[in-house]
Amino acid sequence: MNPTSPLPRIALTLGDPAGVGPELAVKLLAKPETTRVAEVYVLADASELEAAAKAAGVEIPLSDTPKPGFAVLLDDNSAPAEPIPAKQVSREAGARTLHQLQRAMAMANAGEVEAILFTPLNKTSLKLGGMTEEDELRWFAKELSFEGTTSELNVLPGLWTARVTSHIPISEVAERITPENVRNAIRLLHSVLSDSGLQEPRIAVCALNPHAGENGNFGREEIDQIAPGIKEATAEGINASGPFPSDTVFLAAKRGDFDGVVTMYHDQGQIAMKLIGFDRGVTIQGGLPIVIATPAHGTAFDIVGKNIANLGATEHAFELAAAIGARIRAAKVAV
């Protein structure tokens, strides 16, 4: 690793080996521009990378040391002796995914990378493989010993979303909508949008209830929790407004009225984002001390082995990881 290189350093894992992750990873690595804008360190065994490249019909330029046009393969010779079954959930797939993510976390904790890019994971396999946290974001925070505010951010070109709550039952959402949690979600989205290079980002905040509560007729969360959280954020100089009905706010965002939207729960934003641009959707693990990005779609077991997985979201995830990672890298080199 070149300590004076201005290029961001990105650890890349192949995601769940039973899904389309390996196919997407090798297709990304085969594109010359990928390794021209970042130092890419691939966490996989040579046998895994070679098999994926052969299946995808691509060649991966590799080097023992980072240099433009070449990726560096960090092979720790740990691939299981028996092939992991494709197109299905399994403990073996989850354990293999976790192993490479733990290697990426070790590199991050050692200050060796500014960003991590992983191709799609399968949450059930991760649980079977040993993950005990409610989702990978909580696991990443634990591995990084980070106790601050975090949120999954979903990103399309020109539109970002953050969530006040995420992977919890709908029955538990309302009790977690507090002024503090709303303010923190707004603050986090504002910070990451600013880090991405956007000046004075415009943030809309969703209501929880139909018609934004209709002045308390359909619920008081907008009056008692969400509006006070927005007020606290604007007092910090953040351009945030709302709460807006969630069935119309994305129409305004799509036409360019806002740069980001804070939603109250997982599907409130995810449905809209996937309808607007599923093939370019990215998830960023927001609030962590390094950039962690992944395509927003899943492992797509139904198309594994067909060599037809759409690379768009993975390319967008890499672009964001490289752009934000470059800012972090520049600050390090300047010290």
Amino acid, single-letter form, for residue 215? N
Say whether both 245 and 173 belong to one domain: yes
From 280, 307, 324, the end of a domain falls on 280
CATH label of the domain that carries residue 243: 3.40.718.10
60 and 194 share one domain: no
> Could you say which DSSP state residue 261 is in?
E
CA distance 17 to 118: 12
Average pLDDT along the chain = 93
Amino acid at 318: F
b/e map of 172-210 (b: 16 or more CB within 10 Å)?
ebeeebbbebbbbbbbbbbebbeebeeeebbbbbbbbbe
Average pLDDT over residues 22-31: 98
Sheet containing 202-206: which strands, arranged edge to edge?
A: 72-73, 39-43, 9-13, 115-118, 291-295, 282-286, 151-156, 159-163, 260-263, 202-206, 239-244
3-state secondary structure of 81: coil
Number of other residues whose CB lies within 10 A of the CB of residue 159: 20
Mean pLDDT, residues 167-194: 94
Residues 142 and 1 grouped into a single domain: yes
Q: The domain containing residue 295 runs over which residues? A: 1-146+288-335
| Mean pLDDT of the region 230-248 | 97
CA–CA distances in Å: residue 280 to residues 128, 134, 313 = 29, 26, 4
pLDDT value of position 285: 87
- pTM recorded for the entire structure: 0.86
Handedness of CA 256, 151, 13, 134 (dihedral sign): negative
pLDDT at residue 3, rounded to an integer: 63
